[in-house]
A and B are shown apart, each in its own frame.
Chain A
Amino acid sequence: ETGVTQSPTHLIKTRGQQVTLRCSSQSGHNTVSWYQQALGQGPQFIFQYYREEENGRGNFPPRFSGLQFPNYSSELNVNALELDDSALYLCASSLGQGRLAEFNEQFFGPGTRLTVL
């Protein structure tokens, strides 16, 4: 069973640039959630994708957007990068099946460390 993988591991960008982060979900999982973890903080929910549709969003501006592909892998895109976007971005996959989805464990990837200069 392949776990959740993320790429790249590290990334350095400058203010105003755009970035795309990638996540491959665990085999058999159809739901991907993205979290931002700033230094010294717990992860904060950005959004979730279930079967290629956005299925809930946290308190993040529209310049944070995402995609989920038919194979359930996912991308997180951030436009117009700001210094405060520097963080570890975590992807978590799970099996979402309607009302029972809340009981399914979310499996986290290793994260992508984004530094904005």
Chain B
Amino acid sequence: AQSVSQHNHHVILSEAASLELGCNYSYGGTVNLFWYVQYPGQHLQLLLKYFSGDPLVKGIKGFEAEFIKSKFSFNLRKPSVQWSDTAEYFCAVTPAGFQKLVFGTGTRLLVSP
């Protein structure tokens, strides 16, 4: 069965600091990879996704993620965080050909102004 691990459950940063959230998945076949974000009081929304091609993908609000196949990783990065990035971030995978999302446990990011 597929599984997703997010190593940091809580992260606290000051504004302008750089962000990297770790995500590793366990699955033997081809996967599609996602990062979702949930801002306080809002729905889960898609931040970025990777299906194939360039392993460095760019998403909304200056976020990017790099797929490293050999490490089964899909880490999320942002060079300079803002207070408005305070949210919970979820890494997720789907086996290729399916829409069933397998989520990690999430990382709560708090950015202090």
The proximity string for A residues 16-38 relative to B, scoring 1 for CB distances below 8 Å and 0 otherwise, is: 00000000000000010101000
Count how many pairs of residues, one from A and one from B, have CB atoms less than 8 Å apart in the complex: 63
* Residue with the greatest number of chain B CB neighbours at <10 A, chosen from A42, A99, A107: A42
B100 A58 Cβ-Cβ under 8 A: yes
Which residues of B have CB within 8 Å of A107?
A: 43
The reply on B73 being an interface residue by CB < 8 A is no
Which residues of A have CB within 8 Å of B100?
A: 33, 45, 48, 56, 58
Which residues of A have CB within 8 Å of B99?
A: 31, 33, 48, 56, 94, 96, 101-102, 104, 106
- The answer to whether A108 and B44 touch (CB under 8 A), given A42-B104, A102-B32, A103-B51, is yes
Docked pose: A108 CA to B44 CA in angstroms: 6
- The answer to whether A35 and B98 touch (CB under 8 A), given A42-B106, A103-B51, is no
A40 B105 Cβ-Cβ under 8 A: yes
Docked pose: A29 CA to B88 CA in angstroms: 26
Number of chain B interface residues as a range: 20 to 34
A42 B97 Cβ-Cβ under 8 A: no
Docked pose: A5 CA to B102 CA in angstroms: 22
Of all chain A residues, the one with the shortest Cβ separation from B44 is: A108
Docked pose: A42 CA to B105 CA in angstroms: 4
The proximity string for A residues 93-117 relative to B, scoring 1 for CB distances below 8 Å and 0 otherwise, is: 0101001011111111111000000
Which residues of B have CB within 8 Å of A2?
A: none
- CB-contacts of B92-113 with A (<8 A): 92, 94, 96-106
Which residues of A have CB within 8 Å of B36?
A: 108
The reply on B74 being an interface residue by CB < 8 A is no
Which residues of A have CB within 8 Å of B44?
A: 43, 90, 92, 108
Which of the residues B43, B94, B98, B106 comes within 8 Å of A108, measured between beta carbons?
B43
The 5 A-B residue pairs whose C-beta atoms are closest, nearest first, are: A42-B103, A108-B44, A45-B100, A108-B43, A43-B103
4 additional contacts, CB 8 Å, given A43-B90, A105-B46?
A33-B100, A42-B4, A102-B97, A107-B43
Q: Interface residues, chain B, CB within 8 Å of chain A?
A: 4, 6, 32, 36, 43-46, 49, 51, 90, 92, 94, 96-106
